[in-house]
């Protein structure tokens, strides 16, 4: 959501060929997907609050580093690190909703969370472009990092420790679940393909 709209600014200010702008967005998405798959095996073994803090801290610092990039390589590496932390951040947010919201209201809660992503895209893109126009291409990264710091403080101060999933023997993570076995189930295949 940040890189593609800023593409012309990045191409001009960092001497990046416009043909490489897609790699910046794609690298972030690929890193987020791979880190989500990698952490899926053990993310439930920790306090959800601690995982949230680590993921947000990494995402915030990586986004801050994007604002200090000086060329394609430095921006690409910073975006890869941001993606590595964004995957688990999204996963843990959905896990918290699942844990904390009663089943009857869970669909509504998930809709609100996913709707927030859409609102951020709708409002964030034009706001980020305005910031880049008024100041510089790096300003949107600094503003998002500041929002990350505020969110981190709120999580640290307001979110309780979440270890109920560790205490409940019936909800213990299954260590024998393999991703390939999961993807082999027809309901999962249907969910992934939209059929």
Q: pTM of the full predicted structure?
A: 0.79
Q: Is residue 190's pLDDT more than 80?
A: no
Q: In this predicted model, what pLDDT tens digit does every residue of 103-129 receive, in sequence order?
A: 888 888 888 888 888 888 888 888 888
Contact (CB, 8 A) for 162 and 47: yes
Q: In this predicted model, what pLDDT tens digit does every residue of 52-93 receive, in sequence order?
A: 999 999 999 999 999 999 998 999 999 999 999 999 998 898
Average pLDDT of the chain is: 86
Q: What pLDDT shows up at residue 161?
A: 83
Cα 154 to Cα 152: distance, rounded to the nearest angstrom:
5
Q: Is residue 2's pLDDT more than 80?
A: no
Cα 160 to Cα 48: distance, rounded to the nearest angstrom:
9
Q: What pLDDT shows up at residue 74?
A: 92
Q: What pLDDT shows up at residue 65?
A: 96
Contact (CB, 8 A) for 85 and 38: no
Structure tokens at 97: 């909703």
Please report, rounded to a whole number, the percentage of residues in the chain having pLDDT higher than 90.
Answer: 34
Nearest to 31 by CA among 9, 5, 58, 69: 58
All domains of the chain in start order, with CATH: 7-168 (1.20.1250.20)
> Which residues neighbour 91 within 8 Å (Cβ) at sequence distance 6 or greater?
36, 39, 40, 43
């Amino acid at each position: 959501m940040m890189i593609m709209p800023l593409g012309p600014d990045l191409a001009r200010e960092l001497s990046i060929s416009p043909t490489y702008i897609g790699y910046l967005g794609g690298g972030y998405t690929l890193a987020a997907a791979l880190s989500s798959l990698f952490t899926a095996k053990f993310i439930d073994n920790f306090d959800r609050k601690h995982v949230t803090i680590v993921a947000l801290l990494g995402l915030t610092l990586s986004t801050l580093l994007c604002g200090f990039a000086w060329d394609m390589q430095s921006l690409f590496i910073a975006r890869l690190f941001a993606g590595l932390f964004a995957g688990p951040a999204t996963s843990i947010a959905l896990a918290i909703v699942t844990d904390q919201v009663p089943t009857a209201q869970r669909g509504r809660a998930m809709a609100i969370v996913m709707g927030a992503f859409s609102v951020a895209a709708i409002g964030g893109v034009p706001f980020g472009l305005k910031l880049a126009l008024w100041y510089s291409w790096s300003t949107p990264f600094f503003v998002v990092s500041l929002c990350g710091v505020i969110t981190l403080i709120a999580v640290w101060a307001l979110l309780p420790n979440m270890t109920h999933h560790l205490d409940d023997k019936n909800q213990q993570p299954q260590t024998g679940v393999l991703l390939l076995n999961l993807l082999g189930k027809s309901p999962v295949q249907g969910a992934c393909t939209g059929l």
